Amino acid sequence: MEWPHDPDGEDGSEGMRKYGQAILAKKLDEEADFPLSTAEFLEAHGDEPVRLNHEEVVSVADIFEHVDDEEFEDIVDFHAAVGEAMRANGMWEVDVEQHA
């Protein structure tokens, strides 16, 4: 797939490689963007790349195919829903229980 920008370039990772939710979080302003509509977030960022690991890049829309929430009250709600969707659909590499 051809991306609107290089996921490892300045627009994608700000000079250092970032993954998963770190990429999504930098698209948000914790104060100004909430409550956040899923539809508006996808309209603005759906075709942008998110690096899941050193080999795999998916779009924001690919991740949100598995997110059921239509709106998020705050960034904590956003991260909880997106993280749950990513873990449930093989888009999360770290097994929290193994590292606890």
pLDDT for position 52: 84
Long-range contacts of residues 8-16, Cβ cutoff 8 Å, at least 24 apart: 8/51, 12/49, 12/51, 13/51
Q: For 32-84, what is each residue's pLDDT tens digit?
A: 889 999 999 999 999 998 888 777 889 999 999 999 999 999 999 999 999 99
> Running DSSP on this structure, what letter comes out for residue 12?
H
Residue 10: band (very low, low, confident or very high) from pLDDT cuts 50, 70, 90 = low
The CA-to-CA distance between both ends of the chain, in Å, stands at: 36
In total, the chain counts a number of residues equal to 100
pLDDT band at 99 (very low <50, low <70, confident <90, very high): very low
Give the pair of three-digit tokens for residue 34: 């909430």
